[in-house]
Amino acid sequence: MFPAVMALLLGLLSDHPNEYRQNGDDPSIQDERCGIVNSTFLPGEEVVYKVFYNWGIFWTTAGLVHFTVAESEDQYHIKVTGSTAGFYDNFYTVRDTFETWLDKETLQPTMFIRIINEGKYRHYNKFIFDQDQGIVTSYKGEHRDDLESSEEVFTECMHDIISILYHVRNMNFDTLQVGETFPIDIYLEKKYPLNVKIMEKDKKQKVRGMGKFFTHVFQPQLIAGEVFKEKDQMTIYISADSNRVPLLIESPLTVGKIKAFLFHYRGLKYDLTAEVQ
């Protein structure tokens, strides 16, 4: 169950290429996919999510996911850690780490690292992105000192599963219409086309432990398999203010449901003015 938590917070991969391409000829969408100006976050931002799992009538705390933003001269360094808590930590311990380095001018990733420690399972990935040449060099293995490498060519701008979140936060929701769909490519050992649909704007939504907020609501499409069933829909609520920070994420699983609430934050670029007074 808990491996789905990182998917919930970092964006989901779609396997519907025809629907994905429905906006592919729109130059404005292509341009925004290939580079976007950061206006929503600063180095020093930290956000923490508490994850709850439901099976039947009971909701239990499953874990925490922690995002931090740092910087160098020309890149942002974003680190995400996910860990189980309570009963789940005793039953199936998870200590996952995800890191991405983003070009400050475009928010396109230059390198991505994934370190998976889930029970007895171990996996390591490193991807080096050459956005100008359209080449990703991939390294994978059980440990970082024993890796297989490969290269893959891509024709569209490419994201990883962390960079996509910070990219979407910077999209201009004022120009997006309810019902509109926009596409973005993601690489995770292979290329995935992600399709995201705008569901609602300025919706009042209660966030557990935080109050009620005005939110924009969108839905990434999910891949049916071990975690999600066919036609399952995840729903993500982001603050309808200048931060556009995710406040609540909810999704069904093959067994039960899962929700992730914003639990703690600091270092936001703007005051969190989306709260309903």
CB 17 within 8 Å of CB 193: yes
Q: Is the dihedral of CA 253, 249, 176, 43 positive or negative?
A: negative
- Residue 241 has phi, psi (to 5 degrees) of -145, -165
CA distance 33 to 105: 13
Query: At 221, is the pLDDT very low, low, confident or very high (cuts 50, 70, 90)?
Result: low
CA distance 241 to 223: 30
Average pLDDT of the segment spanning 196-222 = 89
pLDDT computed for residue 255 by the predictor: 56
Q: Is the pLDDT of residue 166 over 60?
A: yes
Instruction: Output the DSSP codes for 214-228.
Output: EEEEEEEB--BTTTB
Average pLDDT of the segment spanning 144-173 = 88
Higher pLDDT, 277 or 5: 277
Q: Is the dihedral of CA 246, 257, 3, 35 positive or negative?
A: negative
| pLDDT tens digits for range 237-277 | 999 999 999 999 887 665 567 888 999 999 999 999 999 98
CB 268 within 8 Å of CB 18: no
Q: Is the pLDDT of residue 217 over 70?
A: yes
Average pLDDT of the segment spanning 77-95 = 88
Q: Is the dihedral of CA 215, 221, 222, 224 positive or negative?
A: positive
Query: At 146, is the pLDDT very low, low, confident or very high (cuts 50, 70, 90)?
Result: confident
pLDDT computed for residue 230 by the predictor: 46
The pTM (predicted TM-score) of the whole model is: 0.85
Average pLDDT of the segment spanning 98-119 = 94
Beta strands in 56-178 (DSSP E): 58-71, 75-84, 95-103, 109-118, 121-130, 135-143, 146-153
Paired residues of 235 in beta bridges = 250
What are the Cα distances from residue 267, in Å, to 40, 47, 65, 80, 272? 11, 9, 17, 16, 11
What 3-state DSSP class applies to 86? Answer: helix
- Residue 157 has phi, psi (to 5 degrees) of -60, 145
Q: Is the pLDDT of residue 107 over 80?
A: yes
Average pLDDT of the segment spanning 138-158 = 88
